[in-house]
Structure 1
Amino acid sequence: MNLLLEFLWLLVTLIYSYVEALVKLFIPLKRKSVSGEIVLITGAGHGLGRLTAYEFAKRQSRLVLWDINKHGVQETAEACRKLGATAQVFTVDCSNREEIYNAAEKVKRDIGDVSILVNNAGVVAAADLLSTQDKQIQKTFEVNILAHHWTTKAFLPEMMKNNHGHIVTVASAGGHVAVPFLVSYCSSKFAAVGFHKSLTQELLALGKDGIKTTCLCPVFINTGFLKQPSSRLLPILETDKVANKLIDGILCNQNMIFVPPFVKLSLLLERIVPERALRAMNKFVKIKFDAVVGHGGKEN
């Protein structure tokens, strides 16, 4: 009998969820305030990390900015201060676990408890697998996914104690759909998406529903990391547009953000379209960028 009741409750929940999702398409979601929140952003010295810092600065958050590039992160901090926010700078190599833990201790001691953590730092090596150096593969995983573990382990305990916080994972559409000549990058981003999903479920299982999670999955962003990216169908995104989508998703406690939204369709197609058709579709989309191929050749 209990099983039947649980099943009926599941049906009610499913119906309610679909109705709620439909309503949200037409009614603007309430956005939370991040004023006064201590926000730590990794990779804040350039690109998406920098522009995300600006968005939080406009909302009077207290910023803690990490980057391996001292000059770049200081420039970000100066711009944030001009927007009226406080900003503290730390030079941190996110491929180094001990540097992360040491910097985290300084933040907690000198500034306070981080309540919004944006794991944004990332690296990419565009090459076929055999042309990718071992140290490049290792660093890709150290920065793109292992650092997420170390930063989260450093700041999550206080969030859990207060049942308040937000952990943001900057992943990629390449964390759902693979791209040739980005084997290490896509692998690390698949791991980042898995990290986000598993952490979300774990926090719910522990009853910590006050800690929100968000995962950002954009297609190519015009940051200069990849040289000359192009595609027949996928847009090359401008960094400010992606930062706007990210801050909007954080303020609305959105769990998964795809930019552009139609990327979701590719996830469905991968599960229902025959393999031969998928290969033909990928060929038609024609994703291209400069990459090292065949120990020195170029894929244009």
Structure 2
Amino acid sequence: MKFLLDLLLLLPVLIVLILESFVKLFIPKKRKSVAGEIVLITGAGHGIGRLTAYEFAKLKSKLVLWDINKHGVEETAAECRRLGAKTHAFVVDCSKREEIYNAAKKVNAEIGDVSILVNNAGVVYTSDLMSTQDPQIEKTFEVNTLAHFWTTKAFLPAMMKTNHGHIVTVASAGGHTVVPFLLAYCSSKFAAVGFHNALTEELVALERTGVKTTCLCPNFINTGFIKNPSTSLGPTLEPEEVVSKLMNGILTEQKTVFVPSSICILLVMEKIFPERFLAILKRKINVKFDADIGYKVK
């Protein structure tokens, strides 16, 4: 009873904060400077990681690029240098904890304290559960989830010491809602979103609110990882659009960035609408992509 009374007493506060949020929609947010910041990006050899590196290079950040693909990460580094940024490239397998820790020690000793960490590296296997091999499931969680723990443990202490920094989690709309034949991927991205949310709250509890957090949750992106994706929600996203939204989110210190923003509406609908209606809605949305399906419906 007391809890319900406390909730009622909070109602005026809720109304004021809703009005404040509405007003802020019409006020451009100030973008922070990242010039001179040491930015480490995992999975920087292609796709979102590569384009994000280019954007930070244009903003005069110092870049540390990690990728398992030597050729890819060196190509990205070369372009970042052409854009005027001091850039260091490392070949790192983000599925291996000790390799992450060893590379992080080298970065800290030879380059300096990372102040912006972009956990972007990811893998995806499009198949039903029984067709997804055990090593593929393990790799999915090692790269998409566990690597976030190891990189953050390596670089967060310096940020906490100065109460300054930014941890970016590249997750997915699949970290909030699910589709068939991406079971391992969606599960790992749900964990990544949980990591972001829990880390955000922990930093507040430790009074380190100068260390910011941002989580990117896009729909299907045209990077080639998922073959022939389609949905009635709209065309497959282009990487440039997603990176533009991500950079704006980082520079204005947004907690979560949905691309497209309409994903927010679908998530609210999932919480309040009846299951039978949601089943009809999902058929209308009609998510499709090429997948290895071992189980055959008779």
TM range (shorter): over 0.9
CA distance in 2, matches of 1:155, 1:11: 40
In the TM superposition, what is the alpha-carbon distance from 1:10 to its structure 2 partner? 4.6
2:69 match = 69
In the TM superposition, what is the alpha-carbon distance from 1:14 to its structure 2 partner? 2.9
Question: 1:269-284 to 2 correspondence within 5 Å?
Answer: 269-284=269-284
2:209 match = 209
Question: 1:211-230 to 2 correspondence within 5 Å?
Answer: 211-230=211-230
2:174 match = 174
1:185 match = 185
Relative to structure 2, which stretch is displaced further, 250-259 or 7-16? 7-16
Distance 1:34 1:13, change over 3 A: farther
1:42 match = 42
In the TM superposition, what is the alpha-carbon distance from 1:280 to its structure 2 partner? 1.2
In the TM superposition, what is the alpha-carbon distance from 1:27 to its structure 2 partner? 1.1
After superposition, the C-alpha distances for 1:78-114 in whole angstroms (9 at most, x for unaligned) are 1111111111001000000000000000000000000
SS across alignment from 1:190: helix
Code of the aligned partner of 1:165? G
CA distance in 2, matches of 1:152, 1:15: 36
Relative to structure 2, which stretch is displaced further, 249-258 or 277-286? 277-286
- Is 2:249 the counterpart of 1:249? yes
In the TM superposition, what is the alpha-carbon distance from 1:276 to its structure 2 partner? 1.2
CA distance in 2, matches of 1:33, 1:12: 36
CA distance in 2, matches of 1:15, 1:160: 34
Question: 1:1-300 to 2 correspondence within 5 Å?
Answer: 10-11=10-11, 13-294=13-294
Code of the aligned partner of 1:161? K
Code of the aligned partner of 1:136? Q
Q: 1:231·1:288 contact (CA, 8 Å) conserved in 2?
A: yes
CA distance in 2, matches of 1:215, 1:63: 20
Distance 1:8 1:110, change over 3 A: farther
Distance 1:128 1:42, change over 3 A: same
SS across alignment from 1:293: coil
After superposition, the C-alpha distances for 1:4-31 in whole angstroms (9 at most, x for unaligned) are 9x87985564344323311221111001
In the TM superposition, what is the alpha-carbon distance from 1:279 to its structure 2 partner? 1.1
Identity level (%): 67
Distance 1:283 1:90, change over 3 A: same
SS across alignment from 1:51: helix
RMSD: 1.8
Code of the aligned partner of 1:289? F
CA distance in 2, matches of 1:160, 1:10: 32
Q: Which runs of 5+ in 1 are unaligned?
A: none
CA distance in 2, matches of 1:159, 1:20: 30
Code of the aligned partner of 2:37? E
In the TM superposition, what is the alpha-carbon distance from 1:234 to its structure 2 partner? 3.5
After superposition, the C-alpha distances for 1:16-49 in whole angstroms (9 at most, x for unaligned) are 4323311221111001000000000000000000
SS across alignment from 1:100: helix
SS across alignment from 1:257: strand
Q: 1:219·1:234 contact (CA, 8 Å) conserved in 2?
A: no
After superposition, the C-alpha distances for 1:135-157 in whole angstroms (9 at most, x for unaligned) are 00000000000000000000000
Q: 1:168·1:214 contact (CA, 8 Å) conserved in 2?
A: yes
Distance 1:248 1:293, change over 3 A: same
In the TM superposition, what is the alpha-carbon distance from 1:210 to its structure 2 partner? 0.2
Code of the aligned partner of 2:129? L
Distance 1:269 1:7, change over 3 A: closer
TM-score normalised to structure 1 length:
0.94
Distance 1:97 1:29, change over 3 A: same
